[in-house]
Amino acid sequence: MGFPAGGPPASLRTLAREGALGGYILFKRNLGEPADVAALNAELVAEVPIARPLLIAVDQEGGRVARLKAPILPLPAMRRLAALGDAALIRRAAAALGAQLRALGFTMDFAPVLDIDTNPANPVIGDRAFGRDAESVSAYALAFSDGLLDARVLSCGKHFPGHGDTHLDSHLALPRLPHDRARLDAVELAPFRAARGRVPSLMTAHVVFDALDAEVPATLSRRVISGLLRDELGYDGLIISDDLEMKAVADHYETGDAACRAIAAGCDTLLVCSEPERALVAREALIRRAEADAAFAARLQDAAARSLAMRRGVPAPEPETDAARLAALLAAPTESGFVAELAARLASLPA
């Protein structure tokens, strides 16, 4: 769940104390100076039972999707980083970023993008992608994921089955892709197939894929999430919905209905990123559906177990609240010379 500027409201804090909340996602509105971020995350973590830890997550890809600013490592757009053609360097960059995130108390970064930049007119992916072909994206995005994991920060590949070729932004409208299954197998699905066993979580796309399920967006489709991702591709990690407040879903489905559809489809964790009231509506809808439907209750228990297993599997957050030590941890990439090396490599690329 996300929340407005400042800390979470009492309703979310109560759920967290009861062990009934999977985690928080923080946005720019919640993020001030590094010491304040570390203090907030330390406070959030301290409120919850040790046996039911929270995910503390952020969208920190690099380029135009970077909620945290300096002194956090200022990575360029992934297209430009990938242009260096150096998977080892990309892994080092992600590990350096991950170490900084860890010092602030984050346990998950909603990165890397596994979408392929096949549509120059795409308004939402573009240079966030690591490349324009499946091979490049698979190699470099998975290297980025490996780097985050090296730093004990969970990665999340997005947006399954692929948002790279849409001409609409799912934050604002519901995109649809007409590609046949052969094209999807060769292009869009390839990086997600490569992520199996290597990326611990994947985020779904609010996109309708005509060849997979022409009726509903992927997030809400059992054919896409359970049938394709789980059963056919064999992905066994955590499946996370994109934000249910995005217009691609919210303009067509009431929040509680969308939440139930996403869980029934095979999602394990739901994102509601802005309005705590909507998150509470979603939670109540899940409870009511589970009370009335034994099969749904079993699916919900499976989803909850997957979420809890992931949260227990990542080492407990260690936000550094001593100002001097925090400053030293955040400055480590600079002092190691990595920032200068990366800048020099990037400067050597054509404009």
Catalytic residues, by residue number, are 171, 242
Give the whole-angstrom CA distance, residue 29 versus residue 27: 5
DSSP notation for 39-64: HHHHHHHHTS-TTSPPEEEE-EEETT
Give the whole-angstrom CA distance, residue 262 versus residue 2: 18
Please, what is the angle between helix 87-104 and helix 323-335, to 10°? 170
Give the whole-angstrom CA distance, residue 44 versus residue 23: 9
Beta strands in the chain (DSSP E): 23-26, 55-58, 60-62, 65-66, 108-109, 154-155, 157-160, 176-177, 201-204, 208-209, 238-243, 269-271
Candidates 157, 158, 208, 138; CA nearest to 179 is 208
Secondary element (H or E) of residue 261: helix 255-265
Q: Do 188 and 233 form a contact (C-beta atoms < 8 A)?
A: no
> Bridge-partner residues for 199, per DSSP?
none
Give the whole-angstrom CA distance, residue 248 versus residue 217: 8
